[in-house]
């Protein structure tokens, strides 16, 4: 029995993979680094002790005592002790077990040690960096004082300018007053911090040139002001851009969709009289086809399209039975095009590759200016996600909203603007209800479907209360929507009937199964059955 157990144990040990050599080497290198860093800490402490005996130390002694430079070496060693403990208690056992299943745990713990050695080394060097910094502050004190005041005045000027813009924006969009105030708070905090730093510097300015001045305070606060000046420029630019967003209005209405299809036919030819003939291949230039032809030719690519055959009564192309000759003829393929090898007397043809390109066309309305894009290439995913959204706004950002509040769920065109007095007003419909009446450049939303079209208050309330910013709104019912590709309003509109989508039979092809479908592969074009 003992031999049997030994044999089983041997098999288990053999089957269990060990840790990668590179990981073991890395662990050993990191452990070695802990020891090297400890030596560096010792060396820096000795250097500091020598520095304490120098004449230069006299002017810096009060800073050294106040900031406890000497204690930093002990603190650095404590950090290294924690690194060593982590290594011995966690990493060493993993290395001894040598089990590849523990590789992730090993790597996670090794990542914890490197920052510790870096921190310990930086702490041991702190006295040198600090002494140089204070010495430099003493030498450049007058310039630092002038620079600090200049940085403060610059921040105040920028803050005042942004404040004026913010006040004007708040008057223009009173509903966003609180949000605008929140945008300004970080800038005000920076200025307040800079004022305090500059005041601290000014308190020492009269002592400059003597040992009574606190040159560490001057240097530290100058650094605060300098960093705040940079931060203010960056933050100020961001706030200004954010404020400008409220004054921008735009929408994108999907007014056309188009998918183009192409196939690449490949021919293999050979000398059929040879036992082991050399096979030559030739790719025809891509052929643009309609969707039905695309689906037909790519529905069974493995079966091929046809063969060129030589016989007693002549040679010719014979299509396979599953290929419709009329579909093949639309390709205008010359079976013997570039047939360079004279001895080849047989060939086979099939679809080597295919490509579907998707396009959108938008009506863009930005700050009252209307324009139409050309056909813009879009991804298959975006195209198929918007198959139901012809005639709909797929993006809209009204005046008074920030960019991150734009509406990206499909809605009837202009619906995002209804209720906003910048775009129009409610008027009586003569039957006890009210309809939205557009003003100026936004009248285009009334005629997108070809005939005057108005939104009633109930329709807008339904969209605003249950759909705005959360899901598409098609109105009506699932079987009979009021808006979008499947709606009668869109399908009977001359604008959309005459679009590329309408002319190529897009309305006939839209079916419930398309919604939410992912991009198809071969034979899976828009409206096709796929494979």
State pLDDT tens for residues 157-191. Answer: 999 999 999 999 999 999 999 999 999 999 999 99
pLDDT surpasses 50 at 528: no
Strand-pairing partners, residue 36, are none
Strand-pairing partners, residue 269, are 280, 347
User: Taken in order 424, 427, 429, 432, is the CA torsion positive or negative?
Assistant: positive
Task: Answer yes or no: are the C-beta atoms of 243 and 249 closer than 8 Å.
Answer: no
pLDDT surpasses 50 at 405: yes
Sequence-ordered alpha helix ranges (H) in 386-456: none
- Of the pLDDT bands very low, low, confident and very high (cuts 50, 70, 90), residue 9 is very low
What was the pLDDT predicted at 62?
Answer: 96
Report percent pLDDT > 90 for the chain: 83
Residue 32 CB neighbour total at 10 angstroms = 10
Question: What structural domains does the chain harbor?
Answer: 17-139 (no CATH), 141-247 (no CATH), 254-358 (2.70.20), 388-509 (no CATH)
- Of the pLDDT bands very low, low, confident and very high (cuts 50, 70, 90), residue 300 is confident
Mean pLDDT value of segment 303-327: 88
In 411-523, DSSP assigns E strands to 424-428, 434-438
Give one DSSP letter per residue of 169-191, joined into a string: HHHH-GGGHHHHHHHHHHHHHHH
- For 230-254, the pLDDT digits (tens) are 999 999 999 999 999 999 999 999 9
- Of the pLDDT bands very low, low, confident and very high (cuts 50, 70, 90), residue 448 is confident
Q: Could you say which DSSP state residue 69 is in?
A: T
Nearby residues of 285 by Cβ (< 8 Å), 6 or more positions away: 264
What was the pLDDT predicted at 164?
Answer: 98
- For 14-26, the pLDDT digits (tens) are 445 899 999 999 9
What was the pLDDT predicted at 3?
Answer: 43
Measure the CA–CA gap between 182 and 248, rounded to whole angstroms. 20
Tokens representing residue 36 in the block: 């090297």
The pTM of this model reads 0.76
């Amino acid at each position: 029995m003992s031999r049997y157990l030994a044999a089983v144990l041997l098999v288990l040990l053999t089957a269990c993979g060990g840790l990668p050599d590179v990981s073991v080497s890395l662990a050993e290198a990191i452990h070695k680094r802990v020891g090297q860093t400890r030596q560096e800490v010792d060396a820096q402490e000795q250097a500091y002790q020598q520095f304490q005996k120098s004449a230069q130390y006299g002017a810096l002694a009060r800073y050294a005592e106040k900031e406890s430079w000497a204690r930093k070496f002990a603190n650095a060693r404590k950090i290294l002790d924690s690194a060593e403990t982590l290594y011995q208690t966690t990493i060493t056992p993993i290395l001894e077990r040598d089990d590849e299943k523990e590789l992730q745990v090993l790597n996670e713990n090794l990542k914890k040690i490197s920052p510790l050695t870096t921190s310990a080394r930086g702490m041991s060097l702190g006295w040198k960096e600090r002494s140089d910094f204070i010495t430099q502050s003493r030498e450049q004190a007058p310039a630092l004082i002038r620079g600090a005041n200049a940085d403060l005045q610059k921040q105040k000027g920028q803050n005042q300018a942004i404040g004026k813009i913010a006040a004007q924006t708040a008057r223009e969009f009173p509903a966003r007053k609180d949000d605008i105030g929140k945008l300004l708070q970080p800038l005000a905090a920076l200025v307040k911090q800079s004022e305090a730093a500059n005041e601290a510097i000014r308190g020492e300015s009269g002592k400059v040139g003597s040992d009574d001045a606190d040159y560490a305070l001057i240097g530290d606060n100058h650094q605060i002001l300098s960093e705040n000046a940079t931060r203010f420029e960056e933050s100020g630019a961001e706030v200004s851009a954010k404020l400008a967003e409220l004054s921008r209005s735009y929408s994108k209405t999907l007014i056309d969709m188009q998918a183009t299809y192409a196939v690449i036919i490949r021919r293999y030819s050979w000398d059929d009289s040879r036992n082991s003939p050399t096979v030559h291949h030739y790719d025809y230039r891509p052929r643009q086809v309609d969707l039905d032809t695309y689906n037909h030719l790519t529905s069974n690519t493995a079966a091929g399209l046809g063969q060129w055959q030589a016989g007693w009564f002549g040679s010719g192309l014979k299509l396979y039975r599953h290929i419709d000759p009329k579909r093949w003829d639309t390709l205008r393929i010359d079976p013997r095009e570039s047939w360079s090898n004279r001895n080849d007397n047989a060939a086979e043809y099939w679809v080597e590759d295919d490509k579907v390109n998707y396009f959108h066309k938008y009506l863009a309305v930005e700050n009252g200016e209307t324009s139409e894009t050309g056909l813009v290439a879009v991804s298959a995913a975006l195209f198929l996600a918007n198959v139901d959204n012809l005639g709909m706004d797929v993006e809209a950002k009204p005046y008074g909203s920030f960019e991150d509040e734009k509406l990206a769920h499909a809605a009837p065109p202009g619906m995002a603007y209804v209720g906003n007095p910048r775009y129009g007003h409610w008027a009586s419909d003569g039957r006890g209800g009210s309809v939205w009446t557009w003003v100026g450049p936004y009248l285009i939303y009334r005629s997108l479907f070809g005939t005057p079209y108005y939104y009633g208050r109930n329709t807008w309330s339904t969209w605003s209360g249950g759909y705005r910013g959360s899901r598409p709104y098609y109105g009506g019912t699932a079987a009979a929507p009021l808006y979008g590709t499947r709606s009668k309003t869109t399908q009977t509109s001359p604008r959309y009937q005459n679009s590329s989508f309408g002319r190529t039979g897009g309305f006939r092809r839209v079916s419930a199964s398309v919604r939410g479908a992912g991009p198809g592969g071969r034979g899976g074009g828009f409206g096709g059955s796929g494979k």
